[in-house]
Amino acid sequence: MRALAALLLGLAFALCSVARAGPPDVEARQLLVMLRAPAVHDRPDTAYAGDYRNAPGHAARARIAQRLATAHGLTMRTDWPMPALGLDCFVLEAPDAASVAAAVAALAQDPRVESVQAMQRFEVLGAKAPGDPLSPAQPVIAQWRLQELHAFTTGKGVSVAVIDTGVASTHPDLKGQVVVSRDFINDKPTNTIAEAHGTEVAGLIAARADNRLGIAGVAPGARLYALRACREDGPRGVAHCSSFTLAKALQFSIEQRVRVLNLSLSGPPDVLLARLIDVALRNGANVVAAVDARAADGGFPASHRDVLAVAGDARQEVAFAAVVAPATALPTTTADGGWGLVDGASFAAAQVSGLVALLRQRAPRAGSAFLRDAVAPPAALGSGPARPHPVDACAAVARAQRACACGCGSRAIAEESSRH
């Protein structure tokens, strides 16, 4: 009897362990199949308004996806609209990770399939810095002369998507800053899950200013869209996302016409995400992404064309144009309602997203490419492998608004502005 009890206890422990380790293992067995939706969905501004299951032709496309799954020994798990691309995206699951590549190759030959790819894994790029309590000084306050910039631009009304883990919207330094909250991990219209990385990123972008608490975000007047597409799966802010969850968040950002998309994460090149990023850029949004110091190519989406790539280490050489922003011992908001120090390129990118919001308030009609070049001038960056160029926030604002910034302390900035 004792032996049986021990066996059952061991089995229960094993099952619990499998369940806890489930999501990453499951994603390794999944693939994304895109089926062409009706022409009406080809408009990037088309939204399903919560009625996707009754959208024209959805049932027919679901049947096709089910037939494809059955024919290739796969299981259909879920689906989501991608009207920005005129597609419906279906998640199919293989019996094991080893069979995914063969399934992708086979499905790519089927004329009913618009495109197919393996599910990919992305990780956020930052961790809590060890050691002392919150520092009283933020590096960008002095380096970017934020107090001078905030006198005439706070990013007021500019929408910024934090595509990340959950954001603690009730944090005293973030109250009222989050205007939209969605959970694309659990497919919920609101998100109440407070997680480390997303909250830290949100604070650096838009923490409230002049409230006698904590810190001031780079763009305290910005409107945050807290889009949970990544989940925490370990201590110290470790989190991961998938192609599917990120695609859902990008699609939502496009539908809502969010002006700045912050992607403080990295992974392998991804066809579906690249297509959605291209649509967002064509629609006038700026996409800001963190450079991955561990990846030889700097990681995706930072390596994607026309994305504003941000590194956290000025010594790092990258194969594409990039800027560098402060990334060490940055005080920011934490998920438990307090403040702490963080390190990493994730947080360098967050501050640059805030800077882009400042520029957008001053130049609301400017195109995304113009604003990207204001932060990262092509002449300064050059081409080919090089070290990232330091961000000059005052010069960026001067270029964007074609007028003096920060008291016109630099004659070069004033002269350059007058030429535009």
CB neighbours of residue 13 within 10 Å: 10
Tell me if 266 sits within 8 A of 292, measured CB to CB: yes
Which contacts qualify for 102-108: CB closer than 8 Å, 24 or more apart? 103/31, 103/72, 103/73, 103/74, 104/31, 106/72, 107/31, 107/33, 107/68, 107/72
In the three-class reduction of DSSP (H, G, I as helix; E, B as strand; rest coil), residue 188 is classed as: strand
Nearest to 392 by CA among 416, 361, 367, 418: 416
- Active-site residue (options: 169, 243, 303, 346): 346
Residue partners of 295: CB distance under 8 A and separation at least 6: 266
How far apart CA 198 and CA 238 sit, in angstroms, is 11
Nearest to 276 by CA among 384, 161, 111: 161
Question: Does the annotation mark 135 as catalytic?
Answer: no
Q: Is the dihedral of CA 376, 374, 279, 176 positive or negative?
A: positive
What does the block give as tokens for 153?
Answer: 């631009």
- Active-site residue (options: 79, 164, 270, 373): 164
- Active-site residue (options: 197, 240, 304, 389): 197
Tell me if 362 sits within 8 A of 397, measured CB to CB: yes
Question: Does the annotation mark 304 as catalytic?
Answer: no
Q: Is 98 exposed, middle or buried (0-12, 13-18, 19+ CB in 10 A)?
A: exposed
Question: Does the annotation mark 197 as catalytic?
Answer: yes
- What residues are annotated to the active site? 164, 197, 346
